[in-house]
Structure 1
Amino acid sequence: MDLTLHASFLPQDDPDAALAFYRDLLGFEVRGDVGKGSMRWITVGPVGQPGTSVVLHPPGIDPDVTEDERRTIFAMMAKGTYAGIVLATADLDAVFDRLQARADVVQEPIKQPWGVRDCAFRDPAGNLVRIQERN
């Protein structure tokens, strides 16, 4: 099979804060921005990787999601346990130094027992953004 990762989805509850984090802080390019107000779907992705995107979407809007489920989604987002993404970089320390003063640090760079060296932040919606060092 010839498969690639095309898009991943993360909820966002403040489109402008999401743009400030993913575009302005992480340096992703905006590939799409549709909708109005809080009902915006924003597609971003790493520069130079046009085939890989992250869609930042309003949480719990699927018509099949019940009100109880919607409340659970928002509660989990507030705790930072609902969604996440793993990114990679060649220079973890430089990325951490750039982000630490402007993002919610969850974990400083550390070598994990399973061999990966990584750090972690939360985006404005509470999503876990883990950044691994490429070998």
Structure 2
Amino acid sequence: MTISLQYCHITVNDLDESLAFYRDGLGFEVLNDVASGRFRWVTLGHSAEPGPELVLSEPHAGRSGADGDVLQELLVKGVLPMTVFSTDDLDATFERVRASGAEVLQEPTDQPWGPRDCSFRDPSGNMVKISQAPKA
């Protein structure tokens, strides 16, 4: 039996603004853009490289009003769990994301536990970390 991650949900305030970060800054492709009533879900990934896909949605999409309000409050506080990506060229990825206008939280840094990483906030305030494994 095998099991693998298929989707990772990221809650955002504005889907179009977030697309500029995840698509243009990080280089993901829009795989699906689905409307349902007044909400929509956008799925991003790499068509040539199957793997987990990101699903962007607003706090109230598919949730009760009360649950959406709580999620919105956590999003505004910037306390939702961070998302961590890996890359084989941290410096180039950092420059591409910074050029997209993203808020830099940490420039590329060698960590004492091994990887080299950097971090940003997406337009909704979610922390995004990008890591590069140590070179062997």
User: What's the TM-score bracket when you normalise by the shorter of the two chains?
Assistant: 0.7 to 0.9
Residues 1:113 and 1:21: Cα distance change in structure 2 (over 3 Å): same
Q: Deviations over 1:72-99 (max 9, x none)?
A: 3222212321132111111111111222
Instruction: State the Cα RMSD in Å.
Output: 2.2
Distance 1:35 1:98 in 2: 29
* TM-score of the aligned structures, taking structure 1 as reference length: 0.84
- Asked whether the equivalents of residues 10 and 83 of structure 1 are also in contact (C-alpha less than 8 Å), the reply is no
Is the counterpart of residue 99 in structure 1 residue 100 in structure 2?
A: no
Amino acid at match of 2:46: P
Residues 1:46 and 1:32: Cα distance change in structure 2 (over 3 Å): same
Number of residue equivalences: 133
Aligned match of 1:72: 70
Aligned match of 1:89: 87
Aligned match of 1:49: 49
Distance 1:37 1:120 in 2: 34
- Structure 2 matches for 1:91-130, cutoff 5 A? 91-101=89-99, 102-130=101-129
Give 3-state SS (helix, strand or coil) of 1:52's partner.
Answer: strand
- Asked whether the equivalents of residues 9 and 56 of structure 2 are also in contact (C-alpha less than 8 Å), the reply is yes
* TM-score of the aligned structures, taking structure 2 as reference length: 0.84
Q: Deviations over 1:34-62 (max 9, x none)?
A: 11686110000135323320010121444
- Asked whether the equivalents of residues 79 and 126 of structure 2 are also in contact (C-alpha less than 8 Å), the reply is yes
Unaligned runs of 5+ in 1: none
Distance 2:37 2:121 in 1: 23
Distance 2:61 2:29 in 1: 25
| Percent identical residues | 44
Amino acid at match of 2:130: I
- Asked whether the equivalents of residues 119 and 131 of structure 1 are also in contact (C-alpha less than 8 Å), the reply is yes
Residues 1:121 and 1:103: Cα distance change in structure 2 (over 3 Å): same
Residues 1:112 and 1:34: Cα distance change in structure 2 (over 3 Å): same
